[in-house]
A and B are shown apart, each in its own frame.
Chain A
Amino acid sequence: MTMLSLTINGRAVGPLDVRPDLSMNDFLRERLGMTGTKFGCGAAQCLSCAVIVDLDDGTSVTKPTCVAPALDFNKQKIRTVEGHAVNGVLTPLQLSFVEHFAFQCGYCTPGFLNEGQVLLERLEREKVAREDLERTIMEALDGHICRCSGYVKYHQAVRDVILADPSRFLTA
């Protein structure tokens, strides 16, 4: 057993004893009961298990949790689907997902939500031209598998958040 400490959705967790080979997905779901992060394939192929990792330089990335040991996240700050809404108030992206009927069964939604949120935050720092927007969204979301929806509405939901506030995300 090895000790693990990290920050999840702004709250310190640990130190906790974990098996060196315990996956981050199992740590979240089995140890913490945080089942918003899903298990889909266990092979980092569907990304329903992806969480946001906030890096020290102020940027963020998503990482699959199903193949990564929990210890890989030691001392890191992560965000999960449970941490997006604050005091019950949905984020613009969460609202957009709901309003667009972006998902059907919803099992892949946490991964798409995290990926879309990271994209929005990146575009706030690194704006893109309008003509590159669809391609940018595609590149960001393409690792995620959705078996129900055909992806169209996920992409539209992300795009519409951006187009609703173009000066924030797009170059002039």
Chain B
Amino acid sequence: MRPSRRDFLKLASVCGISLSVSPVASAEVPDVAARETLPGRGVSHPALGRVDGVAKVTGGKLYAADFRAADLPGWPATTHHALLVRAPDATHLYEGLDLAALPPEATPTLVVTAEDIKRIGARVPEFYAGDLFCPVGTTPLYLGQPVALLLFETFDAYDVARVAFRDGNLLKFGKETGPRTGANYGAFRFTRVAGAEPGAPDIYSPLQEGWISPGFVDSGSGRPIWRVLPDEKGPDYVKGAAYGEAIRAELEAVNPSVLTLDRSFATQSVDPMFLEPETGLAWYDPAAKKLDMVIGVQSPFEAAEAVAHLLGEVQADHKPGAVNTRFCYVGGGFGGRDHTPFPLYVALAALFFPGRPVRLAHDRFQQFQGGVKRHAFKMRSQIGVDRKSGLITAFAADHVLDGGGLANYSVSVAVVGATGAIGMYAIPKVDVTTVAEHTRGVTAGSMRGYGTLQTMTALETLVDEACTALALDPIEFRRRNALKVGARTMTGNPYSVSVRAPEILDKLQTQAIWKDRAREKAAARSGFLIGTGVACAAKDYGTGADCSLGAVSIDPQGRVSINSDAVEMGNGIGTALANRVATHIGAIADEVTVAQIDVFDELELVTSGDPYSISQADQDQAARDPHWVPAISSATSASIGAHVGTQAAAEAARVVFRFGLWPAALALWGVAPRDPRAERWTEAYWQGETLLFSGLPPLPLKALAAKAHEQGGVTGAMAHAFSRWAWAEATFALPEGEWSAEIDALAVRRGSGGYQRLDRKAVAFPPADYNRIGTAFASMCGTSVRIEIERATGNLRIAKAYSVLECGKTLVPEVVLGQAQGGFAMGVGYALLEDLPPFEEGPGNGTWNLGQYVVARGSDLPLHDLDIEVLPPLAANEPPKGMAEVVMIPVVPALLNAIFDATGHRFYALPVTPAMIKGVLA
């Protein structure tokens, strides 16, 4: 099965349960100054900054953690509480809870266990396959696996029990069994052999031949057997692996003209450490048979569908007929809230406590114990470099990922990490194997960088080592080897977006940190070492099946409203939407509502199949239905926020302009329909809220809006867009003329009427074969750092840092800058501070919190010496590119390379601590 980074939701009813999704309704809190600061509602001051800025500095209720039953209209007033108890042991039989040890006032009203889940017939969604609760008499599948859900009438009872479970030993375990074993989550091999000449067809590539997996695993270790066996299953693997083995043989052969390095590198598990622990609130109304939920996730559609699947076949007396899920702003995500099983437990808490609103909230210990983690990688990398030309001749690597207890996104992370393993380089021969393993560790999944942080860190330190060995300038080396526009990536396809390595490298080379490195090193204070490091990254954005839903409308007074399915998680998506729409219709929106699904019903979308694995024939057949799209909605991740999240709204805004505001302008100017100027709408432009066109009087937006309404023009549009490394394109017939755009569904509103769906006349979905592409979208970033190390202690100070990136058109420059600064901080933490040991000593034991787990603070960073430079777009119409992940990646290898420059020692595992540095200086 082709791994999917983002699943999709088939709308309409699921398993007989009707689904709806909405933003959180407005709420007022007793005894607190009245405010209405929910997403898209009430006061917004975009002119001051972010559209959510005022709410966030006034304590507005925005996050799932902020809501209680009393805040929600129509709900019972009292909130009840649930405690999710997790196993700190995965090597002994679980024998139940010692509830007698709880203080009497902390006795739960109800205890939900695996037995109860089985009894009512709840089903685990495929993505979360594995027991939701560890059954009594079974060894937990993984550390941190839930064993029971305790339900309490009052907060005080819950709180006392929470502390008792945290501080006491209230789970009973029996005989030692050792950890449970499980099959690998997935294994792939990516091999490419370029043609003999530049531009010649590849001899072998995943794009040409498809993706391959080995047929056998070692019976002892469970690891895949990568070499070709005599009775290998399937010729595809034999063919690809034969090329791969030839590359490895070439790298291992003695060849004096080629420098070969063979290194191992290990990265650690870390926690996303978003500041708002996962929280949810739910109420099952048995009379109405309706389940209402309030949650904060990056993947709203997926969460809604997962809950529906969970409850789809439960006993009739438990089964809701409808599930309404409300989505909040999230207090940080970084991938860790993308496909989290947490909403399933929120739903179960409500279902087993009918009639009572129930709140399930992780504290930080529980979040460490149960939240999704970044994968720890073990990597072996081999690189060959021609000594004379300095060109990379071949690269091979083997990656092993610790996926933890549930599959989650492990296979997908393995694939993205593997296909990103050659970073920004053009390498003619590449062979990378990757396997994601099941272990008893806490489940690993999506997190910023998504596998490439690990593999590009290994790569960029290896490249630095090669440069040292060959006495080549690291920037010049990268310039020689950088992938050029039009050249093929390791899956055999070129990027379809700009490739700006030369500019990034030029910037790095001429910036003061790199230019002055020798002088600064020589001027080190007594007792200190100075080092400079540089690194680059080219990071994909997009998943190969990305969707965008957006609607834009304007009222007679010129007030603009935007609706979007994207989720605000700090990425500034609301502000980005407002800014991108404003480029088309002049005004910053008065209202931006995010995380919406139910306002797009008029598009009447249907879907079928898996967008990642659908055949061309099936896609062609399905596309005959004008309602069909390959997928309806996808999760929000920071790296696709600008590119994907704003696409549908931007296209909707263009429709409003073309068929609403532009005809209004013509009428106000008195330009007749047959006047040649009537077709020159693309030449009009906005200065603020005034429309300008050469030779004609400026027109204010308010007048245009009023006229558009008066003459029944288009005053609202909603659209759906789909990208599989290219946007789907469709043509629609409007009375005013045909309209072709990078969308696949459109509805329009005229005057103050309702939305009317338009059947597309023609559509071109990206070919199904594009699913063989690793990525076609990438952004680049380079980082240089200067560090100072105290010899006596090993303490490291980052004296100066510089990051230069390109991301096409920047929708909100301040947000891009903030993401780059935040990415730098997270990179520093990953390189130098953060570490979660595996298994029993790690977070699954339930004792981890901040303090023990160290993230970067302000004093760890060069706050006043961090220079971020964003390259201007290549052209005025260059689309926005994802950038929130790439900015983190080069920070890590740049720091490691700087440590080598300072100390002469290379570290091959993360994090690098002062004690380790002191150790090599002794």
B425 to chain A, nearest CB (A): 28
Give the residues in chain A near B861, CB-CB below 8 Å.
Answer: 150-152
Write out the residue numbers on chain B whose beta carbons fall within 8 Å of the beta carbon of A103: 56, 570
B825:A150 contact, CB within 8 angstroms: yes
Collect the chain A residues with CB atoms within 8 Å of residue B814's CB: 100-101
* Other-chain contact of B824, A107, A143, A150 (Cβ < 8 Å): A150
Beta-carbon nearest neighbor of A43 in chain B: B849
Contact A107 B63 (CB under 8 A): yes
B50 within 8 A of A: yes
A142's partner among B45, B276, B859 (CB-CB below 8 A) is: B859
| Alpha-carbon distance between A46 and B857 when the two chains are bound, in angstroms | 10
A26-B155, A42-B365 known; A151 and B59 CB under 8 Å? Answer: no
With A107-B332, A147-B275 known as contacts, the answer to whether A41 contacts B858 (CB < 8 A) is no
Tell me which of B58, B159, B569 contacts A82 (CB under 8 A): B58
Q: A81 near B58 (CB under 8 angstroms)?
A: yes
Please, how many angstroms separate the alpha-carbon atoms of A35 and B365 in the complex? 20
A48, A144, A148 interface centre (most CB from chain B within 10 Å): A148
- Which of A54-62, A90-98, A119-127, A163-171 touches B? A90-98
Given A33-B30, A151-B861, A151-B863: A106 in contact with B855 (beta carbons within 8 A): no
| Also in contact, A98 and B858, with CB within 8 A (given A105-B275, A151-B863, A153-B818) | no
Whole-angstrom distance from the CB of B47 to the nearest CB of chain A? 10
User: Within B217-260, which residues are at the interface with A (CB < 8 Å)?
Assistant: none
Name the A residues within 8 Å of B58 (CB-CB): 36, 81-82, 84-85, 90, 94
Q: Which residues of A contact B825 (CB under 8 A)?
A: 149-151
- Min CB distance A98 to B, Å, is 4
Q: Which of B29, B49, B331 contacts A107 (CB 8 A)?
A: B331
A145 with B855: CB separation less than 8 A: yes
Verify B572–A155 contact, CB threshold 8 A.
Answer: no
- Report Cα–Cα, A105/B56, bound state, in Å: 8
Task: Find chain B residues with CB under 8 A from A19 CB.
Answer: 156, 159-160
Contacts of B68 in A (CB 8 A): 30, 33
Nearest CB of B to A86, in Å: 9
In this assembly, does A172 line the interface, its C-beta being within 8 Å of a C-beta of chain B? no
- Cα distance A64–B41 when bound, in Å? 31
B685 at interface, CB cutoff 8 A: no
Q: Is A141 an interface residue (CB 8 A)?
A: yes
Q: Does the CB pair B570–A141 fall under 8 Å?
A: no
Asked if B48 lies at the interface with its beta carbon under 8 angstroms from chain A, I say: yes
Residues from chain A with a CB closer than 8 A to the CB of B863 are: 134, 138, 151-152, 155
Q: A39-B277, A45-B849, A142-B859 are in contact. Are A104 and B59 (CB under 8 A)?
A: no
Number of interface residues of A (CB under 8 A): 62
Q: B858 touches which one: A13, A104, A151 (CB < 8 A)?
A: A151
Instruction: Please give the distance in Å from B158's CB to the nearest CB on chain A.
Output: 10
Enumerate B50-71 residues with CB–CB distance to A below 8 Å. Answer: 50, 52-63, 65-68, 70-71
Using known A-B contacts A34-B32, A148-B570, determine if residue A105 contacts B276 with beta carbons closer than 8 Å: yes
B875 on the interface (CB 8 Å rule)? no
Q: Whole-angstrom distance from the CB of B779 to the nearest CB of chain A?
A: 18
| B residues near A109, Cβ cutoff 8 Å | 56-57
Contact A104 B57 (CB under 8 A): no
Q: For residue B846, give the distance in angstroms from its CB to the closest CB of chain A.
A: 13
**Residue of chain A at shortest CB distance from B851:** A45
- List chain A residues, Cβ under 8 A from B50: 98, 101
What does the 1/0 interface line of B792-814 toward A look like (CB < 8 Å)? 00000000000000000000101
- B837 CB–A CB distance under 8 Å: no
Residue of A nearest to B154 (CB): A30
Chain B nearest CB: distance from A114 CB in Å?
11
Chain A contacts of B275 at CB under 8 A?
A: 38, 40, 46, 48, 105, 107-108, 145-147
A118 at the interface (CB under 8 A from B): no
* Interface bits B813-828 vs A (CB < 8 Å: 1, else 0): 0110111111111100
Closest partner residue, chain A, to B572 (CB atom): A104
Residue contact A105 to B59, C-beta cutoff 8 Å: no
- From residue B28, how far is it (CB to closest CB) to chain A in Å? 9
Question: 7 tightest CB-CB pairs across the interface, nearest first?
Answer: A36-B59, A105-B570, A107-B331, A150-B821, A106-B56, A104-B570, A45-B850
> Which B residues have a C-beta under 8 Å from some C-beta of A?
29-33, 43, 45, 48-50, 52-63, 65-68, 70-71, 155-156, 159-160, 163, 272-277, 329-334, 363-365, 569-572, 812, 814-815, 817-826, 849-851, 855, 857-859, 861, 863-864, 866
A interface residue numbers (CB < 8 A to B): 11, 13, 19, 21-22, 26, 30, 32-43, 45-46, 48, 80-82, 84-85, 88, 90, 94-95, 97-101, 103-110, 113, 134, 138, 141-155
Cross-chain pairs A/B with CB under 8 angstroms, 20 sampled: A22-B159, A26-B155, A30-B155, A33-B68, A34-B31, A34-B32, A37-B59, A45-B851, A46-B850, A48-B275, A85-B58, A98-B54, A99-B48, A147-B826, A148-B818, A150-B825, A151-B863, A153-B818, A153-B821, A155-B863
